[in-house]
Amino acid sequence: MNVGVAHSEVNPNTRVMNSRGMWLTYALGVGMLHIVLLSIPFFSVPVAWTLTNVIHNLGMYVFLHAVKGTPFETPDQGKARLLTHWEQLDYGVQFTSSRKFFTISPIILYFLTSFYTKYDPTHFILNTASLLTVLIPKLPQLHGVRVFGINKY
């Protein structure tokens, strides 16, 4: 019984990323994170860029690829409880506009970070490892796959 549920979606979690203004809000959030890190006096510009990239990718990994289920009471009888947010996004359809946006955005941030750190080897390795942790789980071949049983339940 779903008393007080006013949405018509089977899983409203799938529509959040397609809502109006979400992409702009996301970009502004990343920009604000970077400005806050730049305002810390003892962080150099390369360190601020690397921290922006690593914090962004860590947050993206946690919210899109690690947390499962939905924050809403859904009438789908718990089918979404075993899926990550990325797997629920656009009902699992690959290569939609929102999936493309959330795949391209860490790549663009990585290019900006690499440029502003002047391709310093230490920053480059950290940023590349950080990028790979969010790009590899987005591959269509890994949809629903749990490596070594991690995050299976």
| Residue range 21-57, pLDDT digits in tens | 889 999 999 999 999 999 999 999 999 999 999 999 9
| Residue range 75-100, pLDDT digits in tens | 665 677 778 888 888 877 888 888 99
> Are 33 and 105 within 8 A, CB to CB?
no
Burial class (CB in 10 A: 0-12, 13-18, 19+), 110: buried
What DSSP character marks residue 68?
A: B
Question: pTM score, two decimals?
Answer: 0.86
